[in-house]
């Protein structure tokens, strides 16, 4: 996170966008979680623990509890003796679907794309650096340019700009050039795999890539390697895409600070790229990759898409398999594309989605991109209270940009439906994330490796991981029960609309939709006086990415904010 970002202040990013680390004073807990095996648990221990948990017990009640609680440290020690790799998920699997919901079925259809005319090849190939996938794919398909030439151009650009932007951890040169050569050979003999064939891309460095380090952005894992590619990497390989780099992330998926420094915003390199998909946001905005893959748990696609002025898609929870990706929160982690345009996101997502048989949260539902679906067939709402807030009461002072989005849609013939978000304690439900993150990095914390992390402050992971041990198990379960209420209420909301437009910074929308698993598309909708971009967010129904992207695409085609790019040398 960056304290100088005009979008918000550091505290807001810690709490709402990158928002993955929570201070330990926010939640009650159980004192005996820190008692070592073999240590004596006394009546005083129970009194102290009860006070922290907000409970009161009589003398007789504490006496009855004491025998059982004395056994807890030994039982916990037995559990901790079982080795648990980060990839091992809990037996409980989160499902964002409300009761009696029916998933869409049937096969995905071939994408119906917008018409794109391939431009002439410029004298300097770097003039193609900011072209979207839709254009690059036409150039490759028509053999006006080779994947090898495009790959070499992007690698050279990455290597030249990385000392300034710090958005790349590893350039996968040998792998990339091999893939590019193979793509060129296939295309030359008439085998064209589709829109991603030969397109260079970058992966957030929490996706495993065989033969290269997967660092998770933090010193303790700088040399970590895996023997198998992440499933998303495998699927993009199968689509013919060319992986050219492992891109930066804030360490262990928070913020934009990693062991090599702070990833920079290409629009204003004195500031950070935000996080935790900091590298994908920065590299895409800087024209260093054709597209990138990021992840979001609580804002890690939304925030860097906003700050870097790129178009990001956070899919429905359970749409894309996370096999081979670092786990932070098993019930909230999501993988999605970060691109230069909405249609790019649709094409990349089309290659990513669907179950792999290993990520048990992943559902088998079709996705069919059609750029020509009439908007009249899609019910479009907007969060009225968020748009009605006066400038003086709005965070980030984005009202003129937000209002302009509604005006554009009205010119497209959209009949906007006012809606309001269900009112629930979404902030309190964030203890779900804290507890799951603490579990994902439990051994890392207890071993002391957490002390090697670059960031050591109240809002950073070390403090959050320790604090997670003081969240009562009962409250974690209760928070998930309240989450079930939220899912039901959001299901009612989406009976009246298919897509909802919201200011990106609208109160509660980011936390709420990450908890309920709804998809979002974040795209630029203006620029401040200092030249940095702003964003608007489109929210879709569960597994409703096709309608979501269609509406966002229509808005984007009627504006030109996504066509602007930073000036870099």
Q: Which residues pair with 202 in a beta bridge?
A: 245, 292
Catalytic annotation on 276? yes
Number of alpha helices (DSSP H) and beta strands (DSSP E) in the chain: 20, 15
| Phi/psi at 525 (5° precision) | -140, 15
Give residues with Cβ within 8 angstroms of 499, minimum separation 6. Answer: 378, 379, 380, 381, 538, 539, 540, 541, 544, 547, 548, 551
- The helix/strand/coil state of 74 is helix
Structure-block tokens of residue 387: 């748009």
Tokens representing 313? 């898609």
Transcribe 381-437 into DSSP letters: EEEHHHHHS-GGGSGGG-HHHHHHHHHHHHHTT---EEE-PPP--HHHHTHHHHHHH
- Beta partners for residue 112, in sequence order: 370
CB atoms within 10 A of CB 533: 27
Single out the catalytic residue among 276, 277, 303, 305.
276
Could you tell me the CA-to-CA distances from 560 to 106, 267, 393, 498 in Å, in that order?
36, 17, 28, 25
Which residues, 6 or more positions from 156, have their beta carbon under 8 angstroms from its beta carbon? none
- Kindly report the number of other CB atoms within 10 A of residue 30's CB atom: 24
* CA 74 – CA 36 distance, rounded (Å): 8
CA separation for the pair 102, 288 (Å, rounded)? 41
3-class DSSP assignment, residue 140: helix
For residues 443 and 76, give the distance between their C-alpha atoms in angstroms, rounded to a whole number.
Answer: 13
Q: DSSP label at 119?
A: P
Which one from 204, 246, 268, 399 is the annotated catalytic residue?
A: 204
Distance of CA 508 to the CA centre of its chain: 17
Chain centroid to CA 159: 25
**Catalytic residue numbers, as ranges:** 204, 276, 300
């Amino acid at each position: 996170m960056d304290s100088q970002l005009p979008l918000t202040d550091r505290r807001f990013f810690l709490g709402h966008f990158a928002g993955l680390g929570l201070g330990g004073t926010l939640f009650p807990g159980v004192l005996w979680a820190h008692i070592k095996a073999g240590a004596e648990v006394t009546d005083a221990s129970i009194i102290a623990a009860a006070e922290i948990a907000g409970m009161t017990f009589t003398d007789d009640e504490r006496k009855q509890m004491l025998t059982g609680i004395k056994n807890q440290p030994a039982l916990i020690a037995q559990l901790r003796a079982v080795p648990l790799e980060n990839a091992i998920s809990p037996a409980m699997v989160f499902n964002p679907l409300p009761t009696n919901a029916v998933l869409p079925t049937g096969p995905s259809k071939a994408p119906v794309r917008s018409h794109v005319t391939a431009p002439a090849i410029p004298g300097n190939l770097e003039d193609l650096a900011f072209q979207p996938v839709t254009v690059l794919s036409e150039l490759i398909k028509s053999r006006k340019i080779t994947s090898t030439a495009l790959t070499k151009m992007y690698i050279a650009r990455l290597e030249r700009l990385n000392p300034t932007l710090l958005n790349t951890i590893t350039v996968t040169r040998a792998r990339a050039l091999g893939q590019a050569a193979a793509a060129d050979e296939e295309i030359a003999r008439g085998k064209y795999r589709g829109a991603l064939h030969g397109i260079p891309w970058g992966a957030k460095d929490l996706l495993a890539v065989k033969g290269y380090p997967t660092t998770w952005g933090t010193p303790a894992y700088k040399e970590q390697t895996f023997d198998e590619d992440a499933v998303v990497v495998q699927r993009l390989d199968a689509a013919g895409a060319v992986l050219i780099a492992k891109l930066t992330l804030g360490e262990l998926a928070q913020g934009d600070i990693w062991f090599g420094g702070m990833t920079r915003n290409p629009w204003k390199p004195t500031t950070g790229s935000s996080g935790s998909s900091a590298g994908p946001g920065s590299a895409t905005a800087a024209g260093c990759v054709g597209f990138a893959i990021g992840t979001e748990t609580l804002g890690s696609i939304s925030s860097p898409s906003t700050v870097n002025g790129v178009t990001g898609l956070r899919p429905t929870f359970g749409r894309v398999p996370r096999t081979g990706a670092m786990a932070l929160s098993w019930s909230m982690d999501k993988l999605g594309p970060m691109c230069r345009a909405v249609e790019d996101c649709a094409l990349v997502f089309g290659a990513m989605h669907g179950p792999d048989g290993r990520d048990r949260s992943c559902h088998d539902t079709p996705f069919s991109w059609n750029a020509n679906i009439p908007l009249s067939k899609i019910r479009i709402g907007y969060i009225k209270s968020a748009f009605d807030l006066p400038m003086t009461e709005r965070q980030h002072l984005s009202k003129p940009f937000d209002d302009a989005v509604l005006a554009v849609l009205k010119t497209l013939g959209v009949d906007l439906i006012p809606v309001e978000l269900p009112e629930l304690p979404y902030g309190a439900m964030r203890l779900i994330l804290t507890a799951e993150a603490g579990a994902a990095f439990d051994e890392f914390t207890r071993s002391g490796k957490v002390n090697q992390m670059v960031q050591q402050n109240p809002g950073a992971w070390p403090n959050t991981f320790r604090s997670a041990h003081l969240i009562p198990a009962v409250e974690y379960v209760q928070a998930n029960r309240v989450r079930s209420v939220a899912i039901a209420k959001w299901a009612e909301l989406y009976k009246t609309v298919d897509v909802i437009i919201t200011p990106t910074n609208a109160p509660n929308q980011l936390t709420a939709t990450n908890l309920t698993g709804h998809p979002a598309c974040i795209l630029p909708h203006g620029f401040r006086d200092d030249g940095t971009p702003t964003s608007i967010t489109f929210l879709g129904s569960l597994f409703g990415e096709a309608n979501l992207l269609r509406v966002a695409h229509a808005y984007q085609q009627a504006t030109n904010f996504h066509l602007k790019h930073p000036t870099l040398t």
